[in-house]
Amino acid sequence: MAASDATVDEIGAAIAISGHTGDVAFALSHLSSSVARHRRLAMSALARCDSLSNAQLLAALTDPDSAVRHRACQLAASTDIDLTPALNDPEPSVVEVAAWAVGEHATVDNTTRRRLEQLAQSHTDTLVREAAVAALGAIGHPESIEAILAGAIDKPAIRRRAVLALVSYEGREVDSALKRALDDRDWQVRQAAEDVLS
* pLDDT given for residue 4 in this prediction: 59
d(CA 47, CA 95): 21
- For residue 3, pLDDT beyond 60: no
* Cα–Cα distance, 24 to 169 (Å, whole number): 45
Q: What does the pLDDT average to over 173-195?
A: 97
**Domains contained in the chain, CATH given:** 83-197 (1.25.10.10)
Which of these ranges, 6-10, 44-48, 71-75, 132-136, has the smallest mean pLDDT?
6-10
CB 130 within 8 A of CB 159: no
- Mean pLDDT over all residues of the chain? 95
For the segment 120-128, the average pLDDT, to the nearest whole number, is 97
Residue 116 or residue 198, greater confidence: 116
C-beta of residue 185 within 8 angstroms of C-beta of residue 153: no
Q: How far apart are the first and last CA of the chain?
A: 57
Q: Is 10 exposed, middle or buried, given 0-12, 13-18 or 19+ CB atoms closer than 10 A? A: exposed
Residue whose C-alpha is closest to residue 131's, from 101, 167, 90, 169: 101
pLDDT in tens, 26-35: 999 999 999 9
Exposed e or buried b per residue across 67-87, where buried means at least 16 C-beta atoms within 10 angstroms of its C-beta: ebbbbbbbbbbebebbbbebb
pLDDT at 1: 39
Backbone angles phi, psi at 122, to 5 degrees: -135, -5
> How high is the pLDDT of residue 164?
96
- Residue 129: CB atoms within 10 A of its CB come to 26
Q: What is each CA distance from 6 to 11, 18, 36, 67, in whole angstroms?
A: 9, 18, 16, 21
When pLDDT is averaged across residues 58-87 and rounded to a whole number, the result is 96
So what's the pLDDT on residue 5?
Answer: 64
Which one, of 144, 71, 132, 139, lies nearest residue 105 by Cα?
Answer: 139
**Positive or negative CA dihedral for 185, 187, 192, 193?**
positive
Give the pLDDT of residue 6: 63
Q: Tell me what percent of the residues of the chain surpass a pLDDT of 90.
A: 94
